[in-house]
Structure 1
Amino acid sequence: MMDHEQDEHGEHTEHAGQQRRELGAFVRARRENLSPDTPGTRRRTPGLRREELAARAGIGATWVTWIEQGRAVRPSAATFARLADALGLGQAERAYLFALAARHDPADLSMRAGAGAPPAIAAIVAALPHPAYAIDPAWDVIVANTAAQHLFAGLFDHRNPGVPNLLHYVFTDPAARALLPDHEARCARAMAEFRRDYGRGMHDPRVRSVVEALQGNSPLFARLWAQQGVLGREGGPRRFDHPQDGALFFMQHVLADVDRGDFRLIALIPAQ
């Protein structure tokens, strides 16, 4: 048993070491691709020197050296944020840097708060003839086509101020209870799917506020939240009892945005 535990520890250590080496190689490659602030001077190595990158980032040159060398150090998220800015990283590169560093990007909150639908998601939602919508990390419905607005009776009611929130709707709106024939089971599934997203977005105050508000407003939410259920957002058959159209049957399909994996597109295709 002890040998097995030591093997697992060794594998974990090797994985962490490999991740640090990948991080160091990535930072060094990006540094060497940057142009110096004073071009024209003769250099033995391409790009910026470590000291120059550190000065741009407002961090110590030792940090840059240790990161590039893959040392077992743990700079703060703020340090990596300044480094990412100094390297001029694009969105995908920045996400890769923070993934290798095992740190949460502080800028991610500002990107999420009030963000509209990613263009690809908005275009697909608009193009589909069947109900389709997209949710952000707080499960605000950031875009929905006409068919979805008709299906989810009450969710898009003009009398409800603010951005419609799918979780608030499912747990607290009487219209949702009437629309979903298996209401409590659908609530349990929604809760478990949301908890998976919560694990990635719990640093976002908007996400936390949804949990806090529903814990106070919905005993069912509070009970299910305490059960710690977790599910991926899955497709499958869905039934609705629509107030105007009666019983409706769909197959649900879920896609994530390739640029912002915390956004979900949900399409409901009529079942045959």
Structure 2
Amino acid sequence: MSVTWYTWLEQGRDVSASPQALAALAVALHLSPAERRYLFELAGKRDPAAAPGEPAETMDVPAALAEAVNAIKPPAYLLDRLWNARAWNNAAQRLFVGWLDRGDDRNLLRYIFLNPVSRTVIPDWSRRARRVLAEFRAESGPHIDDPALVALVEDLRQRSALFARCWREHEVVERLGGERSFDHPRSGRLAYEQIAFTVASRIDSKLVMLLPRGRSRR
């Protein structure tokens, strides 16, 4: 492997390297775990040393991270790579009726596409559902062959005609945030500015915050 090859890889250019070759490179360069993850992300490959198909639901959230989410005043929640809510605060629990206020499925995609409550809480539900799925597809690209991801997608394809149709369209968009509105059953139409952060210690997780923008006009 030449210096040019390394440079092209870092620049995100189209270079060919097998996961095994990348693993050998990581060992030869004595890369740290974070550097190794970055190498495989640049190449768009799955690290063969990673735990295959480890269900996201089994990944523990460090206590300090859960406490940090709970300490945030506006609605905030932590999503894993399958978009299961792994931690959330009281404000998010009050806002997301039918999702975070119940003890059953915490997956955001299942909530949006399978839970009828979401259609009453999320204005312009069909458009928002399409957008959310396009964002998820863009983020899940590096893990598209992950068995847990494949199982989630197949379940949703079987149970939601809209999900199946949108998934076939292969639309991808960046998760940019922006204004989000909700029709809360007790508080009425609410507007927020959504922002999201990648957690440094858990690069497969995202912290989502909703900053209040007052009551939205219908």
TMscore range, shorter length: 0.7 to 0.9
**Percent pairwise identity:** 40
Q: For residues 120 and 6 of structure 2, what CA distance do their matches in structure 1 show? A: 54
User: 2:45–2:142: 8 Å Cα contact kept in structure 1?
Assistant: no
Give 1:77 shift.
Answer: 2.5
The equivalent of 1:151 in structure 2 is 95
User: 1:118–1:257: 8 Å Cα contact kept in structure 2?
Assistant: no
Matched, 1:130 2:74: yes
The equivalent of 1:60 in structure 2 is none
The structure richer in helix per residue is 1
The equivalent of 1:263 in structure 2 is 205
> What does 1:54-203 correspond to in 2, within 5 Å?
74=17, 76-78=18-20, 80-81=22-23, 84=26, 89-99=31-41, 103-109=45-51, 113=56, 114-117=58-61, 121-156=65-100, 158=102, 160=104, 164-203=106-145
The equivalent of 1:233 in structure 2 is 175
The structure richer in strand per residue is 2
- Opposite residue 127 of structure 1, the aligned amino acid is A
Q: For residues 18 and 86 of structure 1, what CA distance do their matches in structure 2 show? A: 17
* SS at structure 2 position matched to 1:261: strand
* SS at structure 2 position matched to 1:244: coil
Give 1:142 shift.
Answer: 1.0
Two-structure CA RMSD over aligned residues (Å): 3.1
The equivalent of 1:16 in structure 2 is 5
Residues 151/16 of structure 1: CA separation in 2 closer, same or farther (3 Å cut): same
User: 1:132–1:266: 8 Å Cα contact kept in structure 2?
Assistant: yes
The structure with the largest alpha-carbon Rg is 1
1:141-181 Cα shifts (integer Å, max 9, x gaps)? 11111111111111135452xx5100000011011111012
1:231-257 Cα shifts (integer Å, max 9, x gaps)? 111211111011222211111111112
Residues 99/139 of structure 1: CA separation in 2 closer, same or farther (3 Å cut): closer
TM-score norm. by structure 1 comes to: 0.65
Q: For residues 264 and 106 of structure 1, what CA distance do their matches in structure 2 show? A: 24
The equivalent of 1:36 in structure 2 is none
Give 1:266 shift.
Answer: 0.7
* SS at structure 2 position matched to 1:270: strand
Structure 2 stretches of 5 or more lacking a match? none
Give 1:86 shift.
Answer: 8.4
Provide the aligned length of Structure 1 versus Structure 2. 207
* SS at structure 2 position matched to 1:170: helix
